């Protein structure tokens, strides 16, 4: 069985994006995650509130927002149907592959 663990931080176009868990995210925003370009942060709902696979899929959803924002594709980043479809396919491709995507190394 392939196990996926989202990174605590990663580099994107030279910027460090920090991934944080927020137990109150669903209560405050009624969402599973968000990306802030201003703070270079992806916030995800804490484990237990939703399934592991949904947290993983949410990470990829927010990652796609971060990539599109970095590319200056703001209209495409606002297209939630595109972001959700693309991130779902990306999550499936990576989570169904062999080996570990993210190594435990310092940025």
Asked if residue 24 is part of any domain, the answer here is yes
Q: pLDDT tens, position by position, for the chain (107 residues)? A: 344 467 899 999 999 999 999 888 887 777 899 999 999 999 998 877 788 888 889 999 999 999 999 999 999 999 999 999 999 999 888 888 776 655 544 43
Helices (H), 1-107: 25-29, 52-70, 74-78, 80-95
Asked if residue 46 is part of any domain, the answer here is yes
**How many domains would you assign to the chain?**
1
Please state, in angstroms and rounded to a whole number, the distance separating the CA atoms of residues 26 and 31.
5
Asked if residue 81 is part of any domain, the answer here is yes
Asked if residue 69 is part of any domain, the answer here is yes
Asked if residue 104 is part of any domain, the answer here is no
96 CB-contact burial (10 Å; exposed 0-12 / middle 13-18 / buried 19+):
exposed
Asked if residue 1 is part of any domain, the answer here is no
pLDDT at 26: 82
Query: What does DSSP say about strands 41-45 and 33-36: parallel, antiparallel, or unpaired?
Result: antiparallel
Q: What is the CATH number of the domain that holds 58?
A: 3.30.2010
Please state, in angstroms and rounded to a whole number, the distance separating the CA atoms of residues 103 and 17.
16
Asked if residue 101 is part of any domain, the answer here is no
pLDDT at 106: 43
pLDDT at 46: 82
Domain of 29, in residue numbers = 9-95
Asked if residue 33 is part of any domain, the answer here is yes
């Amino acid at each position: 069985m392939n196990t996926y663990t989202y990174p605590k931080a990663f580099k994107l176009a030279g910027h460090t994006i920090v991934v944080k868990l927020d137990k109150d995210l669903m209560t405050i925003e009624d969402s599973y995650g968000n990306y802030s370009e201003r703070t270079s942060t992806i916030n995800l709902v804490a484990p237990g509130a939703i399934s592991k696979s949904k947290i993983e899929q949410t990470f990829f959803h927010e990652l796609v927002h971060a990539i599109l924002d970095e590319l200056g594709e703001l209209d495409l980043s606002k297209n939630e149907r595109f972001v959700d479809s693309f991130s779902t396919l990306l999550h499936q491709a990576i989570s169904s592959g062999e080996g570990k995507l993210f190594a435990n190394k310092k940025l």
